[in-house]
Amino acid sequence: MDILILGFSKIVRKRILPALLKSDYISGIDIASKSMNPDSIGSFDKKGKIFDDYEKALKQTKAKIVYISLVNSLHSQLCEIALNSGLHVIIDKPSFTDFKTALKLAKLAEKNNLCIAESTVYSYHPQVNAAKELFNKYQTYPKVLMANFSFPPLNKDNFRYSKELGGGAFLDLGPYAVSLGRIFFGKKPDAVNSYINTINEGKGVETSFSLLMTYSQGCSMIGHFSFESEYKNCLTIFGKELSVQIEPIFTIPDNKINKISVMHNNNLDIVEIPEADCFLIFLEDVIKGIEANNFQHFKDDLLYDAEVLHQLRSVSIGGR
């Protein structure tokens, strides 16, 4: 199967393109980029056509899938063109900048019997399934999630500081926050609370937020997400007489052998997780779903995250 990539972003160069080149499911890769000289893309196996215009690429490509990796404000327009052109769509997180748009384009994908998937890929790493299996082993369930994903300030010209381009910590880091409840609790929150800690006054976007979400059966999720502090990327999952700590959780190199810490009845154990490419696993899962005409769950996951993120942004206080 051929794929068209819209954009030649850092994440495309570091993770998406290398994953596609490793996949036996991908035979050809077209790339469209307005900001890159076609020659600078370089040569690689499976290289197809190189375009300098996104809409032209969507009309002329022979690919069946498009991966959109552009600034957030361009996602909806190009996704709609792709769906109306009969293309399955994968989109960098956040898929869209508001829930209304997510709902509209999810309905269009369903109407055209096309896949629409958001590339929030950390849950495809084996360490997430290993954590779930530990709770099954000890016959308990995750009850409290404590998450932290923060990093130092970005370059001043980074699009994440631009409100017009769909920037801000909620849109950039919020998908990690809201997807945790879906992945570990399997249900939507009953109550959502969030607090904006800092705002970039010059740009008008929030740069850090904290949250508390509560779920049925006494479950809850607490988190801090920021562009403003030292790097931290971890999740601790608490259950009865069991806790599991994963670090890193949200972004992990494909060549890293990770170790997760397990506390059971006050006894510490370390579980080693083999290296894995969560981008490759996710992309191949989407492709296999398309081939089997079984991709409803990708749309459902996208809508879950978009709806809870909308709630998170709607109730936020502070930072004014």
Beta carbons within 10 angstroms of residue 293's beta carbon: 9
All CATH 3.30.360.10 domain ranges in the chain, comma separated: 122-279+309-314
Question: The pTM is what?
Answer: 0.96
Query: What is residue 35's predicted lDDT score, i.e. its pLDDT?
Result: 81
Reported as a single tens digit per residue, the pLDDT across 287-308 is 999 999 999 999 999 999 999 9
Provide the strand spans (E) within the chain.
2-6, 28-32, 47-51, 65-68, 88-92, 116-119, 144-150, 191-200, 205-214, 220-226, 232-239, 242-246, 258-264, 267-273
Query: What is residue 110's predicted lDDT score, i.e. its pLDDT?
Result: 98
Distances (CA, A) of 243 to 81, 114, 267, 274, 296: 46, 40, 10, 20, 32
DSSP state of 103: H
Are 229 and 180 in contact by the 8 Å Cβ rule? The answer is: no
In order along its 320 residues, the chain shows pLDDT tens digits of 999 999 999 999 999 999 999 999 999 999 999 987 767 788 899 999 999 999 999 999 999 999 999 999 999 999 999 999 999 999 999 999 999 999 999 999 999 999 999 999 999 999 999 999 999 999 999 999 999 999 999 999 999 999 999 999 999 999 999 999 999 999 999 999 999 999 998 888 999 999 999 999 999 999 999 999 999 999 999 999 999 999 999 999 999 999 999 999 999 999 999 999 999 999 999 999 999 999 999 999 999 999 999 999 999 998 75
- Helices 169-180 and 296-314: crossing angle in degrees, nearest 10, is 120
Q: Is 247 exposed, middle or buried (0-12, 13-18, 19+ CB in 10 A)?
A: middle
All CATH 3.40.50.720 domain ranges in the chain, comma separated: 2-116
Q: Tokens at residue 281, please? A: 């696993």
Which architecture does CATH list for 2-116?
3-Layer(aba) Sandwich (3.40)
Does the domain formed by 122-279+309-314 have CATH 3.30.360.10? yes
